[in-house]
Every structure is written in C-alpha cells, then in structure tokens.
Amino acid sequence: MIPKPIHEITLDDLNALIGLVRESKTIEFKREMQAKTRDEVVKFLAAVSSFANTGGGDLLIGVEARAGLATAIPGVAFADVDAEQLRLSQLLATSVEPRLPRIDIEAIACGGNRHVLVIRAQQSWLAPHKVKTDERFYGRNSAGKYPLDVSELRTAFVLSDSVIERIRNFRNDRLIKIGGGEASVSLFDRPAMVIHVVPFSTYAAGRTVDVVEAAMTGHGHRVLPLPPGGPYGGEIARVNLDGFVTLTAPQGEMATAYAQLFRSGTIEGVKLLEHRDGRSYLFGPQFENVVVAAVKNYIAFLTQIEVGLPIFIFLSFCGMRGCYLRDAGAGPIGGTWYDRRPLKIDTIALPEVAVSSDPANVPVALRPLFNTVWNGFGEPGSPKYNQRGEWIGTA
C-alpha cells in the first residue's frame, strides 16, 4: 500500500515506485484490467476482496511490472475515466458479499489523456468477503491472491463471531452497571435511555484509543461526543477512569445526561427520561430525534479519529418498569398528554444494528429499533417514518 492518503497520491509518488517496489501482500500492479468478461470480472473482484480479507492494500491499474517489479507508468486511456470509476465502484458494491465497507478509487493523470486508477481496500472487519461471480473467498500473501481453504475460512468466521460476542457482552455489562447505579457519572434515580456506538475494528485488533489526544486535542473543527439531546450549554468535560466524559449536570454533581468515550473507542450516551406528575415516561415526539442526532455525532467523532467501519449501534433502556410512553399524536388536551400503557419489564436491550457504509444513513439503520420500542407500548411502529419508510423526523 502506498503510504499516503489515497487522495494525496500524485504522479511523482507513482514514478517513485519504478525499479524499487515489488508486488506484495499490500500492493498489486496491472498494466490494464478491463473487468468486462466474466473471467476479467472475477480477477478484478478477487484482487480487491483479497486485500479486504487480509491487511488491506492498493490495486494499481495502469502500472507496468516485470517479475512483480514496477517498471513503467503508462496509464490507461479511458474513454471516460469518471464513468470507469463509477462502473468499478458499482461492480464492487453488487458482486462482493458481504458488501465491502469502504473502497476508494482515485484516478491519477499521467499525461496524454491517460490515467492510473488506484483502488484502495482497507482491511475489513466484516471479512471474509465472497466474490459472488464465482462463489469463492480470496486471501493474499506475499506471492499474491489465492482462494482461502476451509480451515482459513473457519478461522475468519470464528474471529468475526467472537468479536461481535465480546461487543455484546460489553454492552450487557454496561447495562448492569447503569441499572445498578454504577454509571460513569452520578445520575438521578430515574429510567435511562442508553446508546452505545461501538467500532468493530478496535475490538478485532485489540487496540485502544488515546482518549486525551482524541477528545482534547483539536483536529481543525473538532467534534466531541455530546450527551444525548445536547448541546445543552455548559457541559462539563473531563478525563475519568474509563476514558473521557462530557456530562450535563444542571443541579450540581447529579447528571441528567452524559457521553462517555471509552479507551476502546466505544461511546456510551445516556439520557435520563422525563419524570412528571408522579410518573416516568419516554417522550414520544422527541426521543427518536435525540437518538438519531446523538448517533450522528458519535459516528462523526469516530470518523474524525479514523477507527474505520463497521460500527455497531445499540439502543437500550434501564429502569423501565412502570414507565409510560407520553404521546403527542392527538396533541395536548386540557394541558395533558396521552400516556400509553406502562411497561412491565425493567431492562430493554434491543438487537444491534451495523453501519458499514460511508456516509451512514443513520435513520434507516435505526428504524427497526424505533419500531420495536413503539411495539413495546402497543403501537405498530415509529411515526417518524412515512409509508415508504422514509425518515420524517427532525434530526
């Protein structure tokens, strides 16, 4: 892989490969690659997916090589280079399963209306990816791409499943702590809505995030994880044992909402539910907007610190026994709202949803979770989507 962000690669960088860089586990050269006949399509998809299934890498189309050593940069005369980039992007999107989380394609002019296409596949934590055209999985070593055997496939699938299980266990442990009064900050004793946004890559790689660098050092217009429903104004931000937290505490040390950044890169957003008239309730007209806005904020932060896709999103509720859904569907009548039946369970831990595309369509990803919440109160689904399933909320 060329050691530069793909959008910063220049013709000089390509010329620097000549006579020095050989094909390897992370880079492959092709004089041209039509990717139009079935065999050509398989070779193209195998090359790109093999990078994603291992450590990531660059496929360079328009670079001549001899015995694997780059020898010239002739480029390819594409009739429409933009159309070719789009065609290859669509081919990768429709012919690899599961869909590759991120593929970047950059066209670098090399004179005479010729271009080199640099196709970069990051290591995928959704691996292994299958080429649907020939129903095979490909890996890569120093000699190039090769079909994965049964034992390698078994290892890849087990790794993926074990990482997801660790993430689920983390969420469950956090819900026990929050429900037992052991949240990251001191909270009022009320039902709470809990959001977890978890980057798969840090769990899979066993790496940590420098929370001070990530949250306290500016990156231009930096994004900070905010408490759900924020910014409220006057948030308190500080380093703590778990990592870095921003909290809303309008009444001294007791908080009503917080966002905790863990050293794994996981973000936990907690917001206490409303409590009035002697009862606690989830406010139907707003809670989905609050969740969507918070998740967008957390994904923007994770994008800023480049943890990569996929990202898992969890929505949970603690202390919900006896909690109502306060609905404004019919509007306020006589100064009151219509409260739908209370719940009879304490903890709601909804299934995770995964975001594996950039940019993420957060409302679409969260719709099944919102529908399930409304189902719990006896309603057919979330009113924040129209009949076509399109988001009509405000976040």
pLDDT at 216: 66
261-273 pLDDT, tens digit each: 999 999 999 999 9
Q: Residue 348: what are its φ and ψ, rounded to 5°?
A: -115, 115
d(CA 84, CA 117): 9
Instruction: List CB contacts of 146: < 8 A, sequence separation 6 or more.
Output: 50, 138, 139, 140
pLDDT at 329: 54
Overall average pLDDT of the 111-118 stretch: 93
pLDDT at 326: 86
b/e sequence 144-177, b meaning 16+ C-beta within 10 Å: ebeebeeeebeebeeebeebbeebbebbeebbee
Q: What is the mean pLDDT of the chain?
A: 88
Biggest alpha carbon–alpha carbon distance for the chain:
83
276-310 pLDDT, tens digit each: 878 889 998 899 999 999 999 999 999 888 787 78
Overall average pLDDT of the 240-252 stretch: 83
How many CB atoms sit inside 10 A of residue 287's CB?
24
| Domains defined for the chain, CATH in brackets | 6-148 (3.30.950.30), 157-376 (no CATH)
pTM: 0.69
Model confidence at 252: pLDDT above 70: no
Q: Residue 278: what are its φ and ψ, rounded to 5°?
A: 75, 10
33-59 pLDDT, tens digit each: 988 899 999 999 999 999 998 888 999
Tell me the two tokens of residue 313: 């999103």
Tell me the two tokens of residue 48: 């790109």
**More confidently predicted of 206 and 89:** 89
pLDDT at 306: 79
d(CA 225, CA 304): 11
Q: Measure Cα distances from 251 to 193, 225, 280, 376, 384 in Å.
A: 20, 21, 19, 32, 32
Angle 362-376/287-304 helices, nearest 10 degrees?
140
53-108 pLDDT, tens digit each: 888 899 999 999 999 999 999 999 999 999 999 999 999 999 999 888 788 999 99
pLDDT at 1: 84
DSSP 3-state of 273: coil
138-160 pLDDT, tens digit each: 999 888 888 988 878 877 777 77
pLDDT at 105: 94
